[in-house]
């Protein structure tokens, strides 16, 4: 029994089909609990008022926006090294979810920033690097869409993902050089004295778990769809040949 057994599409379909309802249920429960807890059962911040509650959507979506790219990077590496098709399809399936997460993070940030910072957009390092991340996502998806042969597309997008990761990381630190930040620093670290108060941190953790579960369930659904699409194309090709 090893992890690589799930590289077999049939095995993957079987296991993911069994797991999927549970992940969806987990996502629904944690998101409902987390969001309701966060929105209605936390005190207003003494300076920010109730606008602070957008954090329960902003932080988890930003978390997933970065981790979706990380997941695509790992999946691309697995595809390039071991040539498991499920891996390439999972990377393809993750990209649009990552785009949505990035957009949610940018939008909720803008909605919060308008009353708090007095501006919806500021060329702050974090905001800018997220915008650049969005551009990388768009390029990745466009490259997938532009190439007909699925294996060539998987190869080229994987190469792009590897190189793009380096440049995305480079941009992230380059923009630090270019402008000083307005965005608050990390405030959920385990090794710091001053963190977000538990009244906010606990529902935030629940929401983060909810977004992770949401991402996993969307990813499984989309990967399963991609596998079915691949099978359908194979059937059609066989029929045409017969």
Partner 1 sequence: MIALLLRDIRLSMRSGGGFGLALAFFLIVIVLVPFGVGPETSVLGTIAPGILWVGALLACLLSLDRIFALDYDDGSLDLMATSPLPLEGVVVVKALAHWITTGVPLTLIAPVLALLLNLPQDGYFWLLVTLAIGTPALSIIGTFGAALTVGLKRGGLLLSLLVLPMYVPTLIFGAEALRRGMRGMEAGVPLLFLAAISLAALALLPLAAAAAIRINLR
CB 91 within 8 A of CB 161: yes
Q: Taking the CA of residue 82 as centre, how many other CA atoms within 13 Å lie in the half-sphere pointing to its CB? A: 15
Q: What are the backbone angles phi and psi of residue 45, rounded to the nearest 5°?
A: -70, 145
Q: Which stretch binds partner 1 (CB under 8 A): 16-24, 43-51, 71-79, 175-183?
A: 175-183
Q: Which stretch binds partner 1 (CB under 8 A): 5-13, 144-152, 195-203, 221-229?
A: 144-152
Nearer to partner 1 (CB atom), residue 79 or residue 112: 79
Instruction: Show the site string, 177-216: x = touches partner 1 by CB under 8 A, - = not.
Output: xx--------------------------------------
- 235 is an interface residue for partner 1 by CB under 8 A: no
- # chain residues binding partner 1, by CB under 8 A: 25
- Residue 203 and residue 34 in contact, taking contact as beta carbons nearer than 8 Å: yes
**CB of 181 closer than 8 Å to CB of 126:** yes
Is 104 in contact with 68 (CB distance < 8 Å)?
A: no
Distance from C-alpha of 204 to C-alpha of 52, rounded to nearest angstrom: 12
Q: Given the rule CB under 8 A, which of 103-111, 171-179, 181-189, 215-223 is the region that contacts partner 1?
A: 171-179
Footprint of partner 1 on 1-40 (CB under 8 A): none
Residue in 205, 187, 197 with CA at minimum distance from that of residue 33: 205
213 to 26, 66, 115, 171, 204: CA distances (angstroms): 7, 15, 31, 29, 14
* Stretch near partner 1 under the rule CB under 8 A, chosen from 14-22, 168-176, 207-215, 229-237: 168-176
Q: In terms of CB distance, is 13 or 150 closer to partner 1?
A: 150
Contact flag: residue 146 with partner 1 (CB under 8 A) = yes
* Of 142, 199, 235, 237, the one binding partner 1 by CB under 8 A: 142
175 is an interface residue for partner 1 by CB under 8 A: yes
Q: Which is nearer to partner 1, 44 or 151 (CB)?
A: 151
Show contacts of 180-188: CB within 8 Å, 24+ apart. Answer: 180/125, 181/124, 181/125, 181/126, 182/117, 182/122, 182/124, 183/124, 183/125, 183/126, 183/127, 188/59
Interface residue with partner 1, options 167, 229, 233, 234 (CB under 8 A): 167
* Nearest C-alpha neighbor of 108 from the set 130, 141, 136, 133: 130
Site string for partner 1, 113-132 (x = CB under 8 A): -------------------x
**Residues of this chain that bind partner 1 (CB under 8 A):** 132, 135-136, 138-139, 142-143, 146-147, 152, 155-156, 159-160, 162-164, 167-168, 170-171, 174-175, 177-178
């Amino acid at each position: 029994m090893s992890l690589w057994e799930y590289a077999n599409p049939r095995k993957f379909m079987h296991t993911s089909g069994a797991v999927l309802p549970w992940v969806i249920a987990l996502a629904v429960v944690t998101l409902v609990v987390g969001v309701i807890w966060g929105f209605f059962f936390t005190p207003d911040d003494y300076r920010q008022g109730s606008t602070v509650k957008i954090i329960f959507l902003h932080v988890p979506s930003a978390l997933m926006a970065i981790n979706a790219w990380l997941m695509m990077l790992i999946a691309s590496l697995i595809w390039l090294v071991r040539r498991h098709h499920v891996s390439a399809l999972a990377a393809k399936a993750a990209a649009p979810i990552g785009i949505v997460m990035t957009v949610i993070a940018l939008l909720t940030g803008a909605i919060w920033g308008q009353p708090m910072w007095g501006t919806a957009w500021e060329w702050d390092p974090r905001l800018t690097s997220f915008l650049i991340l969005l551009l990388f996502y768009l390029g990745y998806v466009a490259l997938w869409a532009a190439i007909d042969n699925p294996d060539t597309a998987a190869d080229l997008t994987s190469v792009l993902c590897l190189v793009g990761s380096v440049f995305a990381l480079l941009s992230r630190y380059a923009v630090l050089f270019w402008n000083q930040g307005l965005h608050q620093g990390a405030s959920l670290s385990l090794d710091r004295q001053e963190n977000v108060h538990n009244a906010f941190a606990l529902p935030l953790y629940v929401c983060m778990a909810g977004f992770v579960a949401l991402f996993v369930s969307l990813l499984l659904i989309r990967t399963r769809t991609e596998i079915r699409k691949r099978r359908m194309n194979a059937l059609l090709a066989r029929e045409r040949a017969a």
